Structure 1
Amino acid sequence: MERSSANRVDDLQTVAQDIRAAIQTVIEGKPEAVELALVALFSSGHLLIEDVPGVGKTMLAKALARAIDGTAQRIQFTPDLLPSDITGVSIFNAEHRSFEFKPGGVFANIVIGDEINRASPKTQSALLEAMEEHQVTVDGVTHPLPSPFLVVATQNPIEMEGTYPLPEAQRDRFTLRISMGYPVRASEIAMLDHHGGGDPLAELRPVTDAVTVDALTAGVRTVYVHEAIKEYLVDVLEASRTSPDVRLGGSPRAGLQLLRACKARAALQGRAYVIPDDVQALAVPALAHRILLSPAAQLARRGVDEVVRDAVARVRVPDRDPA
């Protein structure tokens, strides 16, 4: 007999709690960042972590990969990285007199793209097909990627030396963008105690497996979304497009990914239905990195997070009753 949505949510909550606890043995004092990473994982999305060096961006990605015991590949993005290093390449085998495909770094359950904006836009674009369609096409042959498939990319602020801004099409493939930020004082002191005497990442043991995560991710798609919530989400998107501070607003792809993320957040909180609070909580992480500000907003030094929050605040909120 097929399991109900409520039972699937219970299963996801249990597994997610184990993953959360495992990651928090490595990442001190960042519960919001960990939660958004889980939302990206269970919504079949991708995560962009943006911040200055040394605040735990790569550590969070590695801890998530180790906790779910999936295959993981780390790609260090550099100016001389080639697209074929990411997707793979066909090499001629003289013995068999045929071409053989050698998979690139993207063939894994979790791909850690470290400092993605240090590679050229041409190399960054090698991820576009993989992130959107979960496949890679090389020399006219399509190769499917494993499932689940999650790209966790880290990037330094674009003002830093040696970085390239991500193209709009690349940013639009990321479901959520988060910023780690510096830890609070107590967490930083605890980190010195915890990390100073060893490597907590090496001690982290898997708490689930990729097959279980894939099954739970499929269950997230059954989370109920009322028609009023869909209309509210579209209203939020339209508000991001019509704001006088915005030159480019949220795309239809952004709306689809925001909806999937809302379903995942609802399930993580033990609900089999989406409420307006889910849309409000995820609007900035899901939309801000896709927004291009108008010249006037840039001159006024308005931030994209602030602009998105203002746009959401102008939208009428429907009743929170899922029925």
Structure 2
Amino acid sequence: MGRTAALVFLVWSVMLWCWETPHAAESAQSPLSKLVQAAKTEKELTLLGGGGTWGDADAQKALENGFNRKYGLAVRIKFVPGPAMPDLARRIADEFKAGQKSASDLFLGSESHFVEMTRSDALPRFPWRETFPHIPAAMVEMDGRLLREATRYIGISYNEQLLAEKDLPRRLDDLLNPKWKGKIASTPYAASFDRLASVIGLEKTRDFLKRFTQNVAGLIRCGEEERLASGEFVLLALNCGNYEAERGRRQGMPIGARVLSDVPIVGYWYVSVPKHSAHPNLATLFGGFLLTQEGQKIRYESVGATAHLIEGTPANKQYKELQAQGIQLKDFTSEYVIKNGKTLGQLRDEFQKILQQR
């Protein structure tokens, strides 16, 4: 090789090295690093939620601070009071159909609340496990459209000062005892009774509800633990999740909860990032953060809810305790509920009428 040719080769090699080096570094970047970099360009995250979805002002600040600290961000999270979860889910679906940005960058709700958004194709797939390897595979559902955020053990909530441990119902039929007449509450939306029909059968559920309503003194919403604490009712059946009792205790209320041995129903809270999110990278990163040890700790301290598939969480410990008691828990996932959405909706309508016509 002549001197001129050698010089040309050397210059070309240097240029190629200069071009390849940053691209090699970029390709070596982890999916999480890329997501963090993209999230840093979005600056602000908007989260709508009703009731205790995101906790009180202190809990919201803890989430914002923990999120920023975890990923080296300086993001402002706008927690905006919003409608109940079913109404917010419909709103997000309607906004997608209308070609508008989603009012909330991320949605948190139960398995039932995603039926409409799934039908409208408002939820994108995302490789959660690739980006967040710590997330157990079972927590990713619907091909990455939904991510489990917390476990809901369905049971009863009660006033610990008015009910002794020995007097608590252990099984479903214990709620039919005449001693409860005029003392217990249920929910206006017949929470979890549609799932109960899948466990004990439709006819048995209908028969139970017709007899159960004779003892029901009133209907209250999930999250109204203060009405149990005040003594207006001594017990709520069925609840929306035993984590609500933990939330009540953190607010100084004497609220307990338990799973009935023959009602082994488990539901979940899920998060999803709509296709029309204004800040999709921040929302996705925040969804993954909720399932870190830091995120789970903050959620437990604020709303009492954690995920049982994450080792060491309170929900994980309770899952093991229930299994040790011989209670075989039955999962009701988003895939089950979305697949059977029409039937479950009809059952809810029927059961709500039974409760409301007591």
Q: TM-score range, shorter-chain basis? A: under 0.3
TM-score, length basis structure 1: 0.26
Which of structures 1 and 2 has the bigger CA Rg? 2
